[in-house]
Every structure is written in C-alpha cells, then in structure tokens.
Structure 1
C-alpha cells in the first residue's frame, strides 16, 4: 500500500491508495491505459495496445477507412498506407489531401485574383478575397467611393482607391467641403487656400 500525506498547516493528514501507480481494480490487477487511448488495451501500465482494426499511437485510426468511410473525393482512389494513414490517388483535374480541390486554368495556381487579393481555393472553384476598395470576382473593379456623393456644397468628387477627394468651390474647405473658409481661415491663410484651390482647378480641368 502507498500512503500520501497532505499537509494543512498547522495539521496534516494522510490518505492511502491500495494500488501502485498504473494499477487499478479490486485486487489491483487491472493496468491503467495510456491517457488518450481509445480503441486499445494494456498488459502493463500506460500501454495502448490497439484492438483489431485500429492503429495509431492512441488506437484512434481506422485501418479500414478506405472501406468504411472513404475520404477521397471526385472519383479518387483511396490507398491505405500504414498506422491508420491513407493517401488519395487523384484524377488529373483534382488535387488536395482528399482530392477535394479542382486543378485547372482558373484555380489559385494560376493566380487569378488581382490588386493584392487573396485567392481561396475551394471545392471545384475558387474565390477572391479583395483588398479594401476593390470588388468583383477577380477583384478588378475599383469601388466608386463617390457613388454616395460625399462631397458637399456643389464640390466635385474624384474617386481614389478606398478613398476620395473633393474639389471644393470657393468659400468651402474640409474633407467633404462642409466647412466655410471663414470658419477656419482669415487674412493670409485665406488667400493661400484660395490660391491652392485655383491651382487644383487649373491642373484638373
């Protein structure tokens, strides 16, 4: 028998376990399996001896997976390797662990997505995750940031990538031309702003 003492200051108490570590049962005749062992047994403590039809460290891999639950898709052939592992022999137009991805002129291998988009390869198709400011199947369309008419007071809107510029009419300033120049500028600063607006007009028209 093993005794374990627990100290609780200023007192302590002892408890005992009838079995040595790794053994259990009424007469301590049952070995304790490895933690995580699923379809296995043991002869000695902490073993995981797989039952028939199972493999792997924890006896959790079906050696007949190609027969019971074929994982291969799209007409691929399932080949059992060993230790519960398998591989799929894909048809020419498919690839992936289970041959679930289509290989062709329009998959991610051909880098179809534009403007820095991320290509997501899926089941028999792909999709593009666009960067901010772009849309469309291939992310080739620049979203019109002027569509909602953000510029105020008759200002002209110029679309950019995920942004816009407003060419304010005389007397207005701000990102959307929503502030009067008299609220922000006076004297030389006002004259400078008017000159800047005039330069923009000359360059854009």
Structure 2
C-alpha cells in the first residue's frame, strides 16, 4: 500500500500538465486577481483594497486620508500610472477618463457591465479566459497558456511546455502546432532530426548541435550533453515501478 502511494508521489509531477500560465508581470511580480481584493482597507491582506469603487494601495491611501501633504499628489500620479488603465489626474486627484469606470478604469460605459472596449467592440477585459489582475507596476491579466500580453491578446506557444522544452510548439496561423520533427498531443514524440541521426526514438545530434531534434546550436566552448533524457527517465520509471509494486 505504502509503496504504491510513494510511487504515485514520486511520479505525479511528471504526469501533470506542464503548460506555463502567465501569472506574473515582466519583472516577475506575482499578479493579484482583482476579484480577490476586499472592500475597505481594514480587510486588506495584501496591501490593496477597493475604496469608494476604486483600487487603492492602502498604506498610501491611509496616509493621504489622514493628512494631506505634497506626497499625496505623488500617490495620485502613481495610482493613475500603475493602478488604472484609463485614468487621469484632474484637480490633484486620479479619476477615470470620460466614458470609463470601474476599480481600474477599464470598464466602458457604453458596454455591458464589466466589459471593456477593444478595437471598437465591447469585449471581456481579458481575452481568452484571462482574469483581470494587477501588481504595483501595472494592471494586466493572468492568462491561460498559450496566451500572453497585457490583456491575453498575444499567442505565446512557448508557454505550452516546460522551459527546457518550450521550442516543442510553434505559432502557425494563430494556432500552436508541433515544431518540425515532433508530433503527438503534447508534441513530445520525436519523429525526425534537423542536425543529427534518428535512432531508437531519439536524435543523436551532430557535433555542435543539441536539443530533442538537434535544432539548437551548442554554446561555443561548451560541450553538449547526450540527447537521451526520455529513454533514461523511462527506464528509471520502469525499474522503480518493478521495485515498489512487488
């Protein structure tokens, strides 16, 4: 019983989908979903709250409310630049531009509630199933792979696989397809080599090349490792399975 459980724990991560959703900004700050931000700073757990219908950084907002100083104007400019999409400073306060509303000024008054205006058409604030979010740097979206960009409007096929295999997919007519030499549901089956010899389900790369299909050039002065990770991992899995499942 325990041996089976241990085996599952060891290999469960290998079975999980390894698509890379966009969950940080371009400086790797974790995006905070707007729908998880509480009403009022007293309930804030991450330093932000919705106050009077707008997204506020509680530390700065509280300072501003208690004692008006020259720093207040800096915060209003910070808020319009980083916590609003269509905001402007007017009479010393950050407000939504005409026809825009919502906590981050990204809801268009002429569209159904919660919608924005994108290419003159009412649309979700985040395209392709994304979730509106923010960091102290910007308002942008959490995106489901393979989508990227501020509002999940850019296809990023490299997000379909873990970093070491992000070249398995390529963009073809706004769709992700397997790169040359690969096939399968996850594009993880090698069927051809660009600069090497196909042998037993893997590529033996020519000198100076590396990668699953030998498509990558080696770094000058650095020797490339053998291309047999799938076979080694498969053998290791089989051996451990035989030991634990006796």
TM value normalised by structure 1 = 0.28
Structure ranking higher in strand proportion = 1
**Larger CA Rg, structure 1 vs 2:** 1
Structure ranking higher in helix proportion = 2
TM value normalised by structure 2 = 0.25
- Which structure carries more relative contact order (alpha carbon 8 Å, separation 6+)? 2
